[in-house]
């Protein structure tokens, strides 16, 4: 059993490392090019997590989480420098929770049906984490009373995180196989084979 699991693990070849680096760069470019304010001035939609989600499905939650940390720090000192350390921490918590939950579910059974379940669970984990950490961190970051933040949970913070994570998860589902094959990511190729076998 252990031998089979090790055999199915993606190996980090030079090509794979290059693919991961390209996805990291793409993530930073996307947050630079696309930032759409939603609900409140400090809430912005961006598609920067899509390359991270695709990498997670291809290489597993461990690589996905490491990429999350690297990209969060790089974004936090470049295109999103105004948010400082709190912005970096919030990004790691949001994306990291999605990556760990969705990645661990998907790696057990790489089919389309399980991919949907993994992405839905990831959206739920992201949203729950961000509701909690906005209650804790936003008063410190914005200098407002916690009671005021609580009033914003239902009309702004909750729907924003559901929409942002939901859009990025949906795009990931639509693009994962084609992007994975373009970069010859092992997880995407394995998923394609399993889908052909099981008809999913």
- Domains of the chain listed by start with CATH number: 2-198 (1.10.1760.20)
Output the six-digit token pair for 112: 């389309």
Question: What is the pLDDT at residue 187?
Answer: 57
CA distance 79 to 192: 35
Q: Model-level pTM?
A: 0.85
**Per-residue pLDDT tens digits for 190-200:** 554 544 333 33
Going from the C-alpha of 151 to that of each of 83, 146, 147, 157, the distances in angstroms are: 22, 9, 7, 10
Greatest Cα pair distance, the chain, in angstroms, is 56
183: pLDDT strictly greater than 70:
no
> Which helix or strand (DSSP H or E) is residue 36 part of?
strand 36-38
Output the six-digit token pair for 184: 């010859």
- DSSP classification of residue 12: -
7: pLDDT strictly greater than 70:
no
């Amino acid at each position: 059993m252990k031998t089979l699991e090790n055999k199915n693990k993606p190996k980090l070849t030079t090509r794979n490392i290059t693919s991961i680096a390209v996805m990291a760069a793409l993530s930073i470019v996307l947050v630079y090019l696309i930032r759409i304010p939603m609900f409140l001035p400090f809430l912005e939609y961006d598609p920067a997590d899509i390359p991270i989600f695709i990498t997670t499905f291809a290489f597993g939650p461990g690589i996905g989480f490491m990429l999350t940390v690297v990209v969060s720090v790089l974004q936090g000192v470049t295109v999103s420098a105004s948010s400082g350390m709190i912005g970096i921490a919030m990004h790691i918590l949001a994306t990291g929770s999605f990556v760990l939950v969705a990645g661990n579910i998907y790696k057990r059974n790489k089919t389309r049906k399980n991919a949907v379940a993994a992405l839905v669970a990831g959206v739920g984990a992201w949203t729950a984490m961000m509701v909690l950490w906005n209650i804790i961190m936003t008063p410190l970051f914005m200098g407002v009373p916690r009671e005021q933040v609580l009033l914003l949970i239902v009309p702004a913070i909750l729907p924003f995180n559901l929409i942002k994570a939901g859009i990025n998860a949906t795009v990931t589902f639509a693009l994962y196989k084609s992007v994975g094959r373009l970069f010859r990511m092992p997880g995407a190729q394995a998923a394609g084979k399993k889908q052909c076998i099981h008809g999913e």
